[in-house]
Structure 1
Amino acid sequence: MANQRQQVDQLKYALWLAIMQNKNEQIVQFFNSPKIEINVNVALTNQGITALHQAASNGNLNLVQFLVAIQKADIDQQDLLGRTSLHFACAIGNLAIVDYLIQSKASPNIQTIGGESPIMKAAQFHQSQLLSYLIQTHSDKINWNLVNKFGHNVLHIFRISCVNSLEKQNQIYSPINDVMVELMASITAEGQQTIQ
């Protein structure tokens, strides 16, 4: 029994390592091998990170597509902190993966244990281009008024992260103001809450 568990752990580590190194051919062979039986949704780390989480975090669109379309990975599976693959893709600002996941029915409104939605992750890492794109293309699917455990919505988080970033860099970045205006319009359009 212990030997079998050790083999499974070795397989999970080998898969995680292949994903980290973006070795897509090895990963496809791994999942297509009749000798290896491992669930695509199995946690590869003790934080609950799955193959799909890691592929999204790495920005590997081809692997994300393979895992979702071919392997039928659970698109909204959460890790131990409550993050989904969409949280990871939003944090790195990967527009192609975010768009693919949302088109594939990933929920942009799932919250982590801290109450952060994927869109809040984009705001936290001041992914202004991604936020602007989401406002223009997927606004109807996003609840812009969700708040985290501190009571902050996406606009508050974006404003705080941008101010902190600009203070560190000692510069002014005008596109940030444009996104803040767009966020304010999206939030007030839902009419659930006013921004102060």
Structure 2
Amino acid sequence: MADQKQIEQLRYAIWMAIMQNKNEQIVQFFNSPKIQINVNVALTNQGLTALHQAASNGNLNLVQFLVAIQKADIDQQDLFGRTPLHFACAIGNLAIVDYLIQSKASTNIQTIGGETPVMKAAQFHQSQLLYYLIETHSDKINWNLINKLGQNVLNIFRISCVNSLEKLNQLSMPINDVKIELMGLIKGEEQHNNQNYENNQLK
């Protein structure tokens, strides 16, 4: 049986392999009969697992291996309460988000700050992902949840708007329907960006 030092070295080796997207090496780590390590073991002091980091890296193949083959805990939370879906939403990786949700990942788990995965998408202004989630997985998401600051996903998305004037105008607006207004804001921003692009092309 491996001693604590060997386990720490192994955790570090797995972590480095994941950071460098060395999928073949990671598969060997988890499939080796000589190396018996739990797929859900925390690899960092923040409680991040292999699945957390694979999702954060945008490594779909590794995410699929860890979930489908290794049976990783899809909803495992780190010390801050973040799940792999929080990380996938933060980077806006549509393929991984879709795969995790299709694999029954919870869309409404909140961090210690009360943030859901879709709030992470809003925080990092992942417009395309939010649009997709409204269109395809809306029934699985509680759009009215609020974080510890009393903000819902629409509040957070408004704050993340790049245009400061638009941000000031949006912040004071009342909210009637989170999904409808979020969709409208995303479409409006897209039209604004397209208009700016066309104007720049004419110069």
Q: TM-score, normalised by structure 2?
A: 0.82
Report SS of the residue matched to 1:82.
coil
CA apart distance, 1:31: 0.5
1:8 equivalenced with 2:7 (yes/no): yes
Q: Counterpart of 1:100?
A: 99
CA apart distance, 1:171: 9.7
CA apart distance, 1:184: 3.9
Q: Does the 8 Å CA contact 1:147/1:154 hold for their aligned counterparts?
A: yes
1:185 equivalenced with 2:191 (yes/no): no
Q: Does the 8 Å CA contact 2:144/2:178 hold for their aligned counterparts?
A: no
Q: Does the 8 Å CA contact 2:134/2:179 hold for their aligned counterparts?
A: no
Q: TM-score, normalised by structure 1?
A: 0.84
Please identify the structure whose Cα radius of gyration is greater: 2
CA apart distance, 1:91: 0.1
Give me the whole-angstrom Cα distance separating, in 2, the residues matched to 1:35 and 1:29: 10
1:53 equivalenced with 2:48 (yes/no): no
Give me the whole-angstrom Cα distance separating, in 1, the residues matched to 2:163 and 2:110: 27
**Change beyond 3 A, Cα 1:181–1:92:** farther
Q: Deviations over 1:119-155 (max 9, x none)?
A: 0000000000000000000000000000000000000
Q: Does the 8 Å CA contact 2:81/2:110 hold for their aligned counterparts?
A: yes
1:19 equivalenced with 2:18 (yes/no): yes
- Structure 2 gaps of 5+ residues are 168-174, 183-203
Q: Deviations over 1:62-114 (max 9, x none)?
A: 00000000000000000000000000000000000000000000001000000
Q: Counterpart of 1:127?
A: 126
**Change beyond 3 A, Cα 1:145–1:154:** same
Q: Percent identity?
A: 79
Q: Does the 8 Å CA contact 1:59/1:97 hold for their aligned counterparts?
A: yes
CA apart distance, 1:183: 4.5
Indicate the RMSD between aligned Cα atoms, in angstroms.
2.2
Q: Does the 8 Å CA contact 2:118/2:130 hold for their aligned counterparts?
A: yes
Report SS of the residue matched to 1:155.
helix
Amino acid at match of 1:119: V
Q: How many residues align?
A: 175
Give me the whole-angstrom Cα distance separating, in 1, the residues matched to 2:95 and 2:82: 19
